[in-house]
């Protein structure tokens, strides 16, 4: 019998030896390569004009690699390859895979929300102006992107003062019998009740579109001429109204800040890199107007160069967004011609990348770079404070290490109705709002107001999904600490729920009000320990209060939105075959959904666009519902 010590043990190959093994089968095609660890997790995604040459650069121990690349090579246990027809295709595929797989050693853009636009609809005789986010499926003229919802809202508010365009929905417009409050406060011209003619309203719409297209100076001159003419004709009320429109236009431009004279359409992208952290500032210039700016904080390593970070950012940023005709950059990137070709293919016309050295364009880039530097400094200061607080949390609750992801849960309902659960997340960078989650309570067997039952449903759904999507806990989605709003009873209930899920290694703490239910006298409960409290002036206590209050705010806000939606629901939406057009015709004819429900079959058949079969269906629907 062979002694166990004599059995040769096979050590999995990793690093240079593994990479060298792939060189025999690779050719010089362009493509994308993936480096994986011994658990098949993707470490890095890269593109190459020549796959064999690129992979060969990783196979030589004598090569001068950075520490990051050296660690990546040493962790590589296997590789995967995809060939493409061109290097441009490889670039697009690389950025798409990076966004999907989030590899450990790639530069990664973490905040990738869509940007809002202003939409002027065209399907109605009296077009509506409103904020729009997402796919451009609705017919109309889109203006944007704007950097944030706040930038859009400010612009819309000022445009309503100037042009008095409606922002109500079509169904609300059709159902009006008298002007709404916006007409009374001079924010709308009241087209719903004929307070303005179709021709005059159309002229206001055209003016708004001229302004959004960058013709504000020309328009202000024309309004000034009209104001002078009205004043000379002693039409003082009209002259005052025109004066107010000119002031509002000026206010819009002052809010926008810098409005470049020689740049019609561009994104200004500036990077600041410091101590292994990066901030990219993007300014949106459209129609010669500044439509706001946003800062981004891509995940980078300590030894990356500006060119690599900026190129990775551009590829991921424009993967799901339409690029402008000109992108002004603070630094050169590694493959400017390739990136320009890729963005041009996406836009359908030439996209130019430029690093300006002088003139107005250079001043725009310099301003964006200054914003990036200042934003990163503020973030680093906030991160240092947050890290100190997380260390305090770890010490206060006896954790093995400072938590990197804290999840806080709360429920909200009124006597069991419209019940929702909310989860907020906090980590080293503060509140992680893109990780917040809402849970509509579905349990039909729950007793109204059963907080334990609601919490059980929320946590069961949360951890069932986690176990399915990230069973090996490698994606950073698992919490290091659960905070529960409640005392010993809630903590025990949550402990049982987690035991049922097979998750018994995540610390949990219940946060309960003290005997007087006083802010500052909170008691903390953990399984197997006595309740304890923190000093009233302890920064950790204030931090926990902020987390709990944020969870409460999130849950209540979700509940209110759900309740408002239920209250605003129109029973006509539930009738099969009744779409927006027929719904509008019914409301115009009867005045309200209640009147439709009370109508007899003959009256329903008399409505334009409602067939005999549909009239019978509507009549049956309301009578069956009682």
Pairing mode, if any, of strands 437-440 and 326-329? unpaired
The share of the chain scoring above pLDDT 70, in percent, equals 90
Give the pLDDT confidence score for residue 567 in this predicted structure: 57
Task: Tell me the mean pLDDT in the region 480-505.
Answer: 87
Could you give the CA distance from residue 626 to residue 620 in angstroms, rounded to a whole number? 10
Which value, to the nearest 10 degrees, does the dihedral of the CA atoms of residues 349, 353, 354, 355 take? 170
Out of 205-219, 457-471, 554-568, least confident range: 554-568
Is residue 45 within 8 Å of 80, Cβ to Cβ? no
Q: What is the pLDDT of residues 230-276, one digit of tens each?
A: 888 888 887 887 787 777 777 666 555 555 677 888 999 999 998 88
* Cβ-contact 205, 120 below 8 angstroms: yes
Report strand pairing: 117-121 vs 140-143: antiparallel
Give the tens place of pLDDT for each residue, 166-188: 988 888 888 888 888 889 888 89
pLDDT at 2: 40
Closest among 613, 581, 582, 577 to 596, alpha carbons compared: 582
Q: If you average pLDDT over each of 62-66, 282-286, 600-604, which comes out highest?
A: 282-286
Sequence-distant (6+) residues with CB within 8 A of 326 are: 263, 265, 266, 267, 351, 352, 354
Q: Give this prediction's pTM.
A: 0.71
The answer to whether the bond into 145 is cis (omega within 30° of 0) is yes
Q: How far apart are CA 506 and CA 337, in angstroms?
A: 49
440 membership: H or E segment, kind and range? strand 437-440
Supply the Cα-derived Rg of the chain in whole angstroms: 30
Residue 417: band (very low, low, confident or very high) from pLDDT cuts 50, 70, 90:
low
Q: Mind listing the pLDDT tens digit for each residue in 209-227?
A: 888 887 766 777 777 888 8
Mean pLDDT of 55-84: 89
Q: Residues 6 or more apart from 530 whose CB is under 8 A from it?
A: none
Once rounded to an integer, what is the mean pLDDT over residues 381-391?
89
Instruction: Provide the H-helix boundaries in 336-450.
Output: 336-347, 359-396
Average pLDDT on 545-564 reads 82
pLDDT of residue 479: 93
Burial of 350 (0-12, 13-18, 19+ CB in 10 A): exposed
What pLDDT is attached to residue 221? 79
pLDDT digits (tens, 9 = 90+) for 310-333: 999 999 999 888 899 999 999 999
Angle between helices 198-212 and 216-232 (to 10 degrees): 140
Q: Is the pLDDT of residue 353 over 80?
A: yes
Q: Is the pLDDT of residue 35 over 60?
A: yes
Q: What's the pLDDT at 364?
A: 92
pLDDT tops 80 at residue 341: yes
How much is the pLDDT for 253? Answer: 61
pLDDT at residue 469 greater than cutoff 90? no
- For position 152, what pLDDT does the model report? 87
Q: What rounded mean pLDDT belongs to the chain?
A: 85
């Amino acid at each position: 019998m062979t002694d166990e010590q004599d059995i040769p043990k096979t050590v999995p190959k990793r690093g240079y030896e593994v990479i060298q093994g792939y060189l025999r089968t690779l050719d010089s095609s362009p493509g994308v390569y993936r480096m994986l660890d011994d658990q098949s997790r993707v470490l890095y995604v890269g593109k190459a004009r020549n796959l064999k040459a690129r992979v060969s650069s990783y196979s030589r121990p004598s090569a001068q690699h950075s520490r990051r690349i050296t660690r990546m090579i040493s962790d590589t246990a296997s590789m995967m390859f995809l060939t493409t027809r061109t290097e441009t295709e490889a670039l697009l595929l690389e950025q798409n895979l990076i966004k999907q797989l989030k590899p450990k050693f790639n530069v990664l853009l973490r905040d990738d929300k869509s940007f809002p636009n202003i939409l002027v609809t065209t399907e109605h005789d009296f077009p509506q102006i409103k904020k729009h986010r997402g796919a451009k499926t609705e017919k109309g003229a889109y203006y944007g992107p704007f950097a944030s919802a706040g930038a859009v809202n400010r612009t819309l508010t000022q445009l309503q003062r100037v042009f008095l365009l409606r922002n109500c929905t079509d169904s609300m417009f059709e159902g009006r019998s008298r002007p709404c409050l916006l007409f009374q406060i001079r924010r709308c011209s009241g087209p719903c009740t004929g307070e303005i003619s179709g021709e005059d309203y159309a002229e206001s719409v055209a003016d708004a579109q001229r302004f959004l297209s960058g013709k504000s100076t020309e328009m202000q001159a024309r309004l000034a001429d009209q104001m002078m003419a009205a004043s000379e004709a002693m039409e003082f009320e009209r002259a005052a109204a025109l004066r107010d429109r000119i002031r509002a236009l000026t206010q819009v431009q002052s809010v926008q800040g810098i409005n470049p004279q020689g740049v019609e359409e561009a994104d200004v992208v500036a990077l600041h890199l410091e101590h292994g952290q990066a901030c990219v500032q993007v300014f949106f210039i459209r129609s010669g107007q500044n439509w706001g700016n946003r800062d981004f904080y891509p995940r980078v390593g300590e030894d990356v160069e500006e060119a690599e970070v900026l190129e990775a950012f551009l590829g991921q940023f424009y993967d799901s967004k339409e690029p402008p005709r000109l992108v002004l950059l603070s630094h050169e990137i590694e493959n400017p011609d390739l990136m320009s070709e890729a963005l041009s293919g996406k836009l359908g016309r030439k996209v130019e990348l430029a690093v300006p050295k002088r003139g107005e364009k250079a001043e725009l880039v310099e301003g964006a770079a200054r914003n990036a530097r200042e934003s990163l400094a503020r973030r680093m200061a906030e991160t240092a404070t947050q890290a100190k607080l997380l260390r305090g949390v770890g010490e206060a609750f006896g954790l093995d290490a400072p938590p990197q992801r804290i999840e806080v849960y709360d429920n909200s309902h009124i006597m069991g109705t419209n019940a929702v659960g909310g989860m907020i997340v906090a980590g080293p960078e503060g509140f992680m709002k893109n990780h917040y989650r809402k849970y509509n309570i579905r349990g039909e067997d729950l007793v109204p107001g059963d907080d334990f039952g609601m919490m059980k449903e929320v946590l069961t759904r949360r951890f069932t999904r986690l176990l399915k999507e990230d069973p090996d806990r490698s994606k950073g989605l698992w919490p290091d600490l659960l905070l529960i709003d409640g005392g010993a009873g809630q903590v025990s209930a949550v402990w049982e729920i987690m035991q049922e899920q097979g998750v018994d290694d995540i610390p949990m703490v219940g946060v309960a009000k003290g005997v007087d239910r006083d802010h500052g006298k909170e008691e903390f409960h953990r399984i197997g320990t006595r309740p304890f409290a923190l000093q009233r002036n302890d920064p950790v206590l204030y931090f926990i209060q902020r987390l709990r209050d944020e969870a409460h705010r999130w849950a209540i806000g979700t509940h209110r939105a759900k309740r408002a939606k239920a209250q605003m629901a129109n029973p006509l939406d539930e009738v099969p075959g009744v779409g927006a057009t027929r719904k509008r015709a019914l409301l115009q004819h009867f005045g309200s959904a209640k009147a439709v429900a009370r109508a007899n079959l003959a009256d329903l058949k008399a409505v334009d666009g409602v067939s005999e079969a549909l009239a019978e269906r509507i009549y049956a629907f309301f009578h069956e519902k009682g």
